[in-house]
Structure formats: structure tokens, C-alpha cells
């Protein structure tokens, strides 16, 4: 019983754990904010790339391309 009591009273690693949790929360918030800011730019880039590929590969006439029989 004494060993269990000492284990719960030992607070030497508590500060490290708290710092790790705070860092994890801060990183999660930063990633969410960066994703929210960069998502519209990524979407525009993706559409522009798809349009450019369609223009260069299919002469801008991809919708008339027949696939299958």
C-alpha cells in the first residue's frame, strides 16, 4: 500500500506531461488553422491544373471524348 501511495504522490513527471499535452493542443490548432487558410488556394490550384491538363492533352475537348463502345 505504501508503494502505491508514493506512486500517486510523485509529481516529478507531471510538468512534462502537461507541457506535452499543451504542445499537442497547440499543434492541432495550428494545423487546423493552416488547413483552413490553405484549402481554398489548394482547390484553385487543383482546378487550374485540371483545366491545363485537359487543354494540353485533349485540346480542351475532353467532354466529347468517347470512352467504351
How far apart are alpha carbons 10 and 52 in whole angstroms? 63
Q: Is the pLDDT of residue 67 over 70?
A: no
Lowest mean pLDDT of 2-6, 8-12, 32-36, 61-65, name the range: 61-65
CA 3 to chain centre: 43
CB count in 10 Å sphere of residue 54: 15
How far apart are alpha carbons 25 and 55 in whole angstroms? 44
Q: What is the DSSP string of 17-44?
A: HHHHHHHHHHHHHHHHHHHHHHHHHHHH
pLDDT at 28: 96
Amino acid at each position: 500500500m505504501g508503494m502505491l501511495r508514493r506512486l500517486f504522490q510523485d509529481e516529478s513527471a507531471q510538468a512534462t506531461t502537461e507541457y506535452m499535452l499543451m504542445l499537442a493542443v497547440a499543434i492541432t490548432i495550428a494545423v487546423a488553422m493552416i488547413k483552413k487558410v490553405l484549402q481554398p488556394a489548394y482547390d484553385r490550384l487543383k482546378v487550374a491544373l485540371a483545366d491545363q491538363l485537359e487543354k494540353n492533352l485533349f485540346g480542351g475537348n475532353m467532354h466529347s471524348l468517347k470512352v467504351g463502345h
